[in-house]
Structure 1
Amino acid sequence: MTPIATDHSAFDAAMLLIEAEGTRILYTGDFRRHGRKAALVDRLMAGPPKGIAALVTEGTNLGQDKPVESEGALEDKFVDLFRRTKGRVFVEWSGQNIDRTVTLTRAAMRTGRILAIDLYTADVLERISEGTRLPRAGHPALKVVITGRLAERYRANGRGEFVARMARHGISAARLATGRHVVMLRGALIPDYAWKGVSPTAEDAYAHSTWRGYLARDSRALDWCRAGGAELAYLHTSGHASAADLRAFAAAVRPGIVVPVHGANWDSEAEGFGPVRRLADGEPLVIG
């Protein structure tokens, strides 16, 4: 089994080339071709492994209209929002979406702003950034917001030293009550922010930067910013490959069969993939 580094919003994503008894299978896992590591997918498509009997692939975005522009294009949109906003910009995104954290850090640097991230995102960055060029606590464009409830949770789990260390690169939530910071936001952070006097105004902006479907589960951040009169924006690009890129990848690999593992629309979107073998949950497939 050979891991092949690929492009995805999460860190260290890899496809798997599986070889056994003279048979080769390529499993894509989640991937895309419009992120900051798109060159990895382009390189693989230019020289794919030979003789792939089965391509086991995701198809999340088949039949979907999710945004699939590049992270670079998204960065430019954040820059535009940051430049035209007089006050703070509250952004809701996942701390595990490393590409998005990089995009926001770069946009903040280009506009002379500081990105304020929470303890969890600082923790994620510290765990993965060693030996990379990824931003982390101590980066000139980053500050770590030390909020009471999250800090207490870390201390209760024996991570008090981490909280103290992050405080050296930190900023109090009270400092975010005014100014022009780019502020990480999600519903769970609102009580701590509000306790410290942070409240959205008409001079601020809010950008939702995850899949829209998550808003149906938790719209507290959006509602909080809307109530304060902030400008509302949706700035996001998918962590999954577009339908066109999925088909192009399959065409480049030229497998004997394509086996879907993700996606709700394979029945109507199978054209352009070659032979597709749909499997029920738990159904075995003999190859070779």
Structure 2
Amino acid sequence: MRSLNYLFRRNIINSSTTNVYRWLLARAQYLQRLYPSHLSYSKSKSLFGIFRSLINQYHRNVPIDYLCGSAMFFNRLFIVNRHVLIPRRDSECLIRHVQQLYEQDTNSEFLNIPRKRRLQYFLVLEKSILEIGTGSGCLSITLSRLFPNWQIHACDISSSALRVARNNAYLHHCHSIQFHRGDLFDSAFLQNTSFNLIISNPPYIPTDEVPYCDAGIFHEPSIALFVDPPLKFYSEIIHRAKQEWLNDHGYLVFECSPFNAHQIEQLFIEQQQYFENVQVTLDTNQLLRVISAKKKQIFV
């Protein structure tokens, strides 16, 4: 608190950002206890020196989640650093959409069972899940906590991101999730495997929009954000899903930008011999955010 009072007196901070600085002070205290002699600060053992360094980074638009080392998602705390995207509330609607899809399937499959008992069947469903581009692992881990019988495979091209995801899985006691490092565009990646559900929040921001992005976004991994053309990952995932990855009657669920949702919908329509039941869902801000489709049963 003396550090805060000193900064107030020097007009370095003001009352409008008090909570932010309280978080940073708590983080500084944690770092000082954790790494008392190994910090890359000029005053490695000075709480004030650590705190001041965090404030300087904050004023350089480093996201507060990175400075604090954690972010909330679906009422759970996740470890984050510069190697993974910061979990956002918008992504929570993907989880809710998956819940709704399987609730609908369960209700139609068990019509003769009382409604209250259908939930029991829903929770014990055994499904195989693939997440492409897991990052912090927040989506896979949340699904694993909601549906402990699901066999979840989470993949990413970044080994640094996978380390964060594994730490988060350990933190949330999700020991059954299998993590894979691989490139979506490698034809040998996950060959001869198939799943009941594929989810992904792939890169979708066109590089020509970079000048218009908020400053804070440039501290997040660009490989997880920017891509040209913007539908590159969606097209490839849809192609691999229809060819081998997605089982008949399985679901493919994407998070998307409100600006390309209808283009992704069109990709599914162009593959209507393989996909049906295309749905687009709004997020909490009433923006198009999640799109899904169900794979038809293919008779050979």
TM-score w.r.t. structure 2 length?
0.37
TM-score w.r.t. structure 1 length?
0.38
Structure with more helix by fraction: 2
